[in-house]
Structure 1
Amino acid sequence: MKNGFNLSEWALRHKSLVWYFMIVSTLAGVMAYMNLGREEDPSFTIKTMVISAAWPGASVEETLNQVTERIERKLEELPALDFTRSMTTPGQTTIFVNLRATTRGRDVPGTWVQVRNMISDIRSELPQGVVGPFFNDDFGDVYGNIYAFTSDGLSQRQLRDYVEGVRTKILRIPNVGKVELIGAHDEVIFLEFSTRQIAALGLDQQEVIRALQAQNAISPSGVIQAGPERISVRVGGQFTSEESLRNINLRVNDRFFRLSDIATITRGYTDPPQSLFRYNGQPATGLAVGMKAGGNLLEFGEALEAQMHRIIAELPVGVGVHLVADQPVVVEEAVGGFTRALFEAVAIVLLVSFLSLGLRAGFVVALSIPLVLAMTFVVMEYLGISLQRIEL
């Protein structure tokens, strides 16, 4: 009676072929391990979007009935919708759109595009004066490196300009993802009207504001056709600084007056600021740097460190650069810990196998561990799976 196929017998009769496959698999595994992406944690998709809209001056009931309910009724048409949750305050609504747990991660970006299109369809039905709606679905962004920029003798605007220049240079690094400023203050010009002066001149503050808007408006002024030449005509007079505001003469109710006679014009920063960033209690501007998904965070960290050394050498005296968060160090420790654990496991199995099975059988058992891992690394590279703590 003939037995079925015996893999062990076939391997013994084809030793050269088996050794060939073992060597090729090992070399391919080593190369795959070197090329695998390194990350701290696996990327995941958050299936929630936030939609916000403002209706200045409206009550809670008006905002709820005219804005919140109209948006939520439209969202009910979304096939992948699980539920919505909203918070409505006077003149402000915030709606959380949650997708079903069965929604595939690769389908989520297309679903958010569908949500934007659906809300755009009803934008004309919303009351006049509604600001928005605005959409936020960037919850999964991770910034591995955060730098704090401090200044000694520089204004916040000057520091922001330098940080913007640094951001432009960092964007040239291969595999760089999002690079965002944290705690940067926006400059604004404040107009503080004197109610006494406005009343004495018999003016209306709203009329003054409308006159300023008309003065600062950019509108087409026509063209001059001179044979083959076509020359665009533009009207100047737009505001370029607070000084141009102080010198402006406005006409209201057939009367001319200087804006500085009824208002105090100053340059400053948004108050209250949208966000604040401090380093050791000192005001600073943060720069958060992220890597593209699937990249090698260790190689990216080395490239970023080299670029930052060149950037710091070009910054003026008074600008301090401080590393706040360094994710490549965490990833290096995680991957290094896995490598140490792997070698320890192989050494323990070798020792136990040699003592219990003998030299030849123990060598075969111990050799199977790195061989299986090598083939696993090849499969991981083929499927685009990176090395991170969960996979390790």
Structure 2
Amino acid sequence: MSRFNLSAFAVRERAITLFFIIAIIMAGGFAFLKLGRGEDPKFTVKTLTVTAVWPGATAKEMQEQVGDRLEKRLQELEFYDRTETSAYPGMLTMKLYLKDSTPPKEVPGEFYQARKKLSDEKIHLPQGVIGPIVNDEFSDVYFAMYALSAKGLPHRQLVLAAEALRQRLSRIDGVEKVSLLGEQDAKIYVEISYKRLSTLGVKATDLFDALGTQNDMTPSGFVDTAGPRVYLRLDGTINGVEAVKAIPVASGGKLLKIG
């Protein structure tokens, strides 16, 4: 019995050979057109992280009173696979993994349900627990980072310039997210001289009360007119160092200023 000769068959059956050649070319062209061309192609990460902080708690307390409660709620998810929990003194971190078979379009919904269940469980956690804090964007990768610096320019002005650039970059096609790193909250520190307070007969608590009252946002009422309603607001917002220095402090029948 002679062996099957593919070359002879291809020459003899030219119509079939031509059909397969055309089919392979068409399939290759179709695959080429559908081939992903992204430098950083999108893929669905089916993992989120959860963090909780409880100052003063031991690692065992974090696991038993916080971690176990959160794990039980996450196990109610439809596509739940497993959780990996690490408990430390005062802090707990947890990773939630969804099943590999989870459809990509279902992942955002599952993450929403996870947030909802953790939020519902928050009221049952011990008093003093901060969180749980959920992060489902930890897999984001920045492909470019830029730094801004300006000698002698206040940090706040630098932040405003960076924010303007962020808004312009966000409008570029293909840019999904632009984040600012290194932004610092504006703070004013008040240094207390207890020797001077003793000389003036002022208590430190009087200073704290004056600062808290001055920066307190409270409703001041409104006035109904024939036109729009006019709301009354007290102008007591602290907007700079000089404003802090001018805050009045009442103590022992005397009225002083912090500055």
Q: TM-score, normalised by structure 2?
A: 0.74
Match of 1:9 in 2: 15
Alignment of 1:164-183 (within 5 A): 164-183=163-182
Distance 1:165 1:22, change over 3 A: same
Match of 1:59 among 48, 57, 60: 57
Q: Which amino acid aligns with 2:49?
A: V
Instruction: Report how far residue 11 of structure 1 moved.
Output: 8.3
Instruction: Report how far residue 10 of structure 1 moved.
Output: 6.9
Match of 2:41 in 1: 42
**CA distance in 2 between partners of 1:198 and 1:73 (Å):** 54
Instruction: Report how far residue 41 of structure 1 moved.
Output: 4.3
Aligned residue pairs, count: 243
Match of 1:83 in 2: 83
**CA distance in 1 between partners of 2:237 and 2:176 (Å):** 37
Alignment of 1:252-271 (within 5 A): 256-260=255-259
Partner SS, residue 224 of structure 2? strand
**CA distance in 2 between partners of 1:134 and 1:199 (Å):** 45
Please list every run of 5 or more consecutive structure 1 residues that lacks an aligned counterpart in the other structure: 1-5, 261-392
More strand by share: 1
**CA distance in 1 between partners of 2:223 and 2:63 (Å):** 52
Contact 2:53–2:131 (Cα < 8 Å) also in 1: yes
**CA distance in 1 between partners of 2:153 and 2:13 (Å):** 75
Match status 1:227 vs 2:233: no
Instruction: Report how far residue 202 of structure 1 moved.
Output: 5.3
Partner SS, residue 226 of structure 1? coil
**CA distance in 1 between partners of 2:209 and 2:234 (Å):** 18
**CA distance in 2 between partners of 1:237 and 1:191 (Å):** 18
Write the deviation string for residues 50-92 of structure 1: whole angstroms up to 9, x where unpaired. 2223344x332655554344333433333414123132323x3
- Structure with larger RCO (C-alpha < 8 A, sep 6+): 1
Match of 1:111 in 2: 110
**CA distance in 2 between partners of 1:40 and 1:197 (Å):** 65
Partner SS, residue 123 of structure 2? helix
**CA distance in 1 between partners of 2:86 and 2:191 (Å):** 36
Contact 2:214–2:247 (Cα < 8 Å) also in 1: no
Please list every run of 5 or more consecutive structure 2 residues that lacks an aligned counterpart in the other structure: 1-11
Partner SS, residue 162 of structure 2? helix
**CA distance in 2 between partners of 1:209 and 1:160 (Å):** 30
More helix by share: 1
Q: Which amino acid aligns with 2:189?
A: F
Q: Which amino acid aligns with 1:82?
A: R
Write the deviation string for residues 258-315 of structure 1: whole angstroms up to 9, x where unpaired. 223xxxxxxxxxxxxxxxxxxxxxxxxxxxxxxxxxxxxxxxxxxxxxxxxxxxxxxx
Q: TM-score, normalised by structure 1?
A: 0.52
